[in-house]
């Protein structure tokens, strides 16, 4: 049997032990919640006709996440048959910069009841056309606007003529 020496009851004087420190943990809680209830129609690719969702004054927005649902409420009559993309834009009021695509639409044929942004819980195409749950997203630390005073807007890259999309949801983040 091996006999161990008794444990020390004092710390040798030449040893420097680490001292407690304040540890800063990043705080990713949001303090701005933006309810969304809006509509866009017609020329949805122009900065002046995109819907403003969040417009901080003298600060930047940091979009961290949200839930969004967009559906067609008036059949689109655009002239461009190319696929359109509904997106979030970072806008200074003149030049919107796309930063997050949300859904697809066809400017000439998207019809009443079509879901432009959402998640379809059913595999049946006919049921999916009228039934969706909100699209949810988490951007972690978030997307920070390019400049102070920029607005978070929603719009598309193709115009929809007499068509209209209703948009509802909740966005969150911070202003800095």
Q: Is residue 118 part of a domain?
A: yes
- How does DSSP assign 55-82, residue by residue? --SSS-EEEEEEEEEEEEEE----S--S
Token pair of 20, please? 């407690």
What pLDDT, on the 0 to 100 scale, is given for residue 17? 57
**What's the number of domains the chain is made of?**
1
Q: Is residue 5 part of a domain?
A: no
Q: Is 46 exposed, middle or buried (0-12, 13-18, 19+ CB in 10 A)?
A: exposed
Q: Is residue 13 part of a domain?
A: no
pLDDT band at 123 (very low <50, low <70, confident <90, very high): low
Q: Is residue 11 part of a domain?
A: no
Radius of gyration (Cα) for the chain, nearest Å? 25
Q: Is residue 117 part of a domain?
A: yes
Interval 38-95: pLDDT, tens: 999 999 999 999 999 999 989 999 999 999 999 999 999 999 989 999 999 999 999 9
The pTM of the full predicted model, rounded to 2 decimals, is 0.79
Q: Is residue 49 part of a domain?
A: yes
Q: Is residue 39 part of a domain?
A: yes
Q: Structural domain of residue 39, as residue ranges?
A: 32-175
Comparing 106 with 130, the larger pLDDT belongs to 106
CATH number of residue 60's parent domain: 2.60.120
Q: Is residue 7 part of a domain?
A: no
């Amino acid at each position: 049997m091996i006999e161990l020496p008794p444990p020390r009851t004092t710390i040798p004087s030449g040893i420097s032990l680490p001292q407690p420190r304040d540890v800063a943990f990043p705080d990713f809680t949001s303090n701005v919640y933006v309810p969304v209830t809006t509509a866009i129609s017609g020329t949805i690719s122009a900065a002046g006709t995109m819907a403003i969702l969040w417009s901080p004054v003298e600060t930047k927005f940091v979009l961290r996440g949200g839930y969004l649902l967009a559906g067609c409420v008036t059949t689109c009559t655009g002239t461009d048959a190319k696929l359109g993309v509904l997106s979030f834009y970072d806008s200074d009021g003149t030049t919107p910069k796309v930063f997050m695509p949300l859904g697809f639409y066809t400017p000439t044929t998207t019809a009443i009841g079509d879901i432009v942004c959402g998640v379809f819980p059913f595999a049946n195409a006919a049921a999916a056309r009228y039934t969706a749950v909100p699209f949810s997203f988490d951007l972690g630390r978030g997307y920070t606007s390019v400049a102070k005073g920029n607005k978070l807007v929603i719009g598309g890259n193709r115009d929809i003529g007499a068509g209209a999309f209703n948009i509802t949801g909740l966005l969150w983040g911070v202003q800095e």
